[in-house]
Amino acid sequence: MEKTSCLHFCFISCLVLFIIVGSWYRSSISPLPGYSLQTQKPIDHSAETPHHPLDPLTVKEINRVRTILSSYEPFSFTFPTIHTILLHEPDKVQVLKWRKGDPFPPRKAQVLALLNGQSHVLNVDLDSRRVTGHAINPSSGYPMLSMDDISAASKAPFSNAEFNKSIAARGVSSSDLICLPPSAGWFGPNEEGKRVVKVLCYSKESTPNFNMRPIEGLVMTVDLDTLEVLKFSETGGDIPIPKSTDTDYRYTAQTKEPQMEPLNPISIEQPKGPSFRVEDGHIVKWANWVFHLKADHRAGLVISRVMVRDSENGELRDVMYKGFASEFFVPYMDLDESWYFKSYMDAGEYGLGMSALPLVPLNDCPRHSYYMDGIFATTDGNPFVQPNMICLFERYSGDISWRHSEGLLTDFQIREARPKVTLVARTAASVGNYDYIFDWEFQTDGLINVKVGLSGMLMVKGSPYHQAPNQDAMSGPLISENLIGVVHDHFVTFHLDMDIDGANNSFVNVNLVKERSLPGESPRKSYLKAKRKIAKTEKDAQIKLKLYDPSEFHMINPSKRSRLGNPTGYKIVPGGTAASLLDHDDPPQLRSAFTNNQIWVTPYNKSEQWAGGLLTYQSRGDDTLAVWSERDRSIENKDIVLWYTLGFHHIPCQEDFPVMPTVTSGFELKPVNFFESNPILRAAPAFEKDLPVCRSSASS
């Protein structure tokens, strides 16, 4: 590119970034009037066909599933309410053997549906056009809430006389009300036999941030199937509705300038375009990585068939068969009638994919991002497109891949450094008040960094106080006038089917043990030694992290060795290590017993995907990771799955009002003796001549 054209390109790019500031609503992406965003051309999904055995169901395939179910004899009189239609993935051995150009394994769908209060789990063969499996109520619990459930339950209170009387007494206009149905959890046999939801209400008067204006103490239990209000409870009539002052978080609503020096526009320029490519809709190729990426109704996004090139011979090597967020447990620490049940399982009760609305260009995802849609099913079984719910982009933030300098004490004058450029696959789920950002970040040194960011709104409790009283008597601190930020936790459990150089792997606890030196052996009195123990069965791999009993945790292939004789492997580097402190017999913890340990390892089982069970809503905890692992199956040199729970304790503060700055934590999957040496030793440094330069008119 000639200098003049490069400068012109950079000037236009920087100008566009500077002037495009938007106010986006959850249902759409709209730039400021007068400006348009350049985005990739929308994909016509109506004619799509699968290209890989793990590709999600297409529009045509979902329509075919609906046709098959419509003629299925048990549904001949009444078509069920569809909660999920997803690909029923082929057996793992079939996927591993498949090569591009081979015939596909049979395409199948898994359907979760409700009919007459019963849960139906069906397998549908799309090729033979028949139902090949049908289980009714295979475990406690129901499928996740549908959008129809949420919409209908939100309207149910308005036909209840007690509710209307209470609202009138509080002086709230019905036109200013928003009611939402958080899940009810499970608290014993008295709550079984009906699919129920709790309904809470807020005032949206003078603000779109109704989350900060709760009508405290007002809660209704609603039967989701009959929409009858089963129980009406009002305990907070003397608590005022918090004011709307300073609650609007939208850019266009801000009347004061931020009290900081303005930031100049910043952007990553890629005049040659991004370095990654997406083939056949879902195969991502970048640098030394190849993997399959797709949207998922429940998990948000799924990474599969992850392979990295050997740094010596260039051959692709297996790292992970499948990775995704399996469950998201969020318990609140308040015992009041309108709070005790707030112990959500966001993936299994609401769906991280169903809650993932279109990402915001330039703000959620940088320029040159590639966007991917999700294709899901409505309650009547028809397909719909969830647009732009995943983005893929390269990141450079000034980090260093490796460096070393010499010259202070030797004759060598060496200055070697390499910039760190990574590839990120991102989705963001807006589950009610909270927003969760999921990043899978791939580095050229073979490391995978998995991060979860928390933003959005606190779930707040109305309070009579304007200033903080004795906070020990409250369930959280005062974050604004009349608002308590209730203490709560977030636990994200990841399913990580590691296949290091093949399916059969072992889990190794590399424990750091302190030892004393022998008398006269050394001036040192103590030192650390790494002692390795291979887990034989599942209970050997149930790990609670301990600060003063540290270990590394390796997944190795005992049959594949480096030139030095070390088994090839990856280790999980824990982060976000908060642990659940609830009693194990507490109903929310019974349902979420997968958080009893930070690490689990189980034998691969196609049916064991969801840590909280396939049917999570109102489940009793009888089909969870903790239950499966109690079988104590053999895991040495087997096809095994690693599970890791990322944890956050959240004690809210004033800075979380009215919208929270993002808090991020994560974990790493890092190669251990997988490569023969530093795999990016020969990576090129950056040179000025290769980079476009944006200069302001003042400096040109």
pLDDT in tens, 444-487: 999 999 999 999 999 999 999 988 777 777 899 999 999 999 99
Q: pTM above 0.85?
A: yes
39 pLDDT band (50/70/90 cuts)?
A: low
- In CATH terms, the fold of domain 147-249 is Nuclear Transport Factor 2; Chain: A, (3.10.450)
Q: How would you classify the pairing of strands 214-223 and 229-234?
A: antiparallel
- How far is residue 134's CA from residue 620's CA, in Å, rounded to a whole number? 22
- Cβ atoms of residues 292 and 304 within 8 Å: yes
pLDDT beyond 50 at 522: yes
- Cβ atoms of residues 405 and 414 within 8 Å: yes
Q: What are phi and psi of 629, to 5 degrees?
A: -70, -20
Three-class SS of 201-246: EEECCCCCCHHHCEEEEEEEEEECCCCCEEEEEECCCCCCCCCCCC
| pLDDT mean across residues, the chain | 92
pLDDT beyond 80 at 404: yes
Structure confidence at residue 268 (pLDDT): 82
B/e letters for 96-133, b = 16+ CB within 10 Å, e = fewer, are eebeeeeeebebbbbbbbbeeeebbbbebbbeeeebee
For range 660-665, the mean pLDDT:
97
Structure confidence at residue 122 (pLDDT): 98
Q: Tell me which residue has tokens 């959008």.
A: 147
Q: Residues near 565 by Cβ (< 8 Å), separated by ≥ 6? A: none
CA angle at 435 for the pair 434 and 438, rounded to the nearest 5°:
140
Window from 199-213, 312-326, 408-422, 512-526 with minimum mean pLDDT: 408-422
CATH of 36-136, one of 3.40.50.740, 3.40.50.300, 3.10.450.40, 3.90.700.10: 3.10.450.40
- Residue-wise pLDDT for 153-169, tens only, equals 999 999 999 999 999 99
pLDDT beyond 60 at 510: yes
Q: Tell me which residue has tokens 């979420």.
A: 592
Give the rounded distance of the alpha carbon of 381 from its chain centre. 25
- Residue-wise pLDDT for 272-301, tens only, equals 889 999 999 999 999 999 999 999 999 999
248 pLDDT band (50/70/90 cuts)?
A: very high
- Cβ atoms of residues 140 and 619 within 8 Å: yes
Catalytic residue among 346, 364, 439, 639: 346
Q: In 3D, which of 612, 353, 403, 578 has the Cα closest to residue 488?
A: 578
Local structure of 62: helix, strand or coil: helix
Superfamily of domain 277-690: Copper amine oxidase, catalytic domain (2.70.98.20)
Three-class SS of 494-519: EEEEECCCCCEEEEEEEEEEEEECCC
- How far is residue 534's CA from residue 511's CA, in Å, rounded to a whole number? 11
Q: In 3D, which of 636, 407, 610 has the Cα closest to residue 541?
A: 636
Residue 434 appears among annotated catalytic residues: yes
Local structure of 18: helix, strand or coil: helix
Share of the chain above pLDDT 70, in %: 93
Q: Residues near 682 by Cβ (< 8 Å), separated by ≥ 6? A: none
Domain with CATH 3.10.450.40 in the chain: 36-136, 147-249
The partner residues of 567 in beta bridges, in order of sequence, read 561
Structure token digits, residue 90: 């082929």
**Which letter does DSSP use for residue 497 in this model?**
E
**Which letter does DSSP use for residue 231 in this model?**
E
337 pLDDT band (50/70/90 cuts)?
A: very high
pLDDT beyond 50 at 25: no
- How far is residue 84's CA from residue 146's CA, in Å, rounded to a whole number? 9
Structure confidence at residue 35 (pLDDT): 32
Catalytic residue among 321, 434, 570, 644: 434
Share of the chain above pLDDT 90, in %: 86
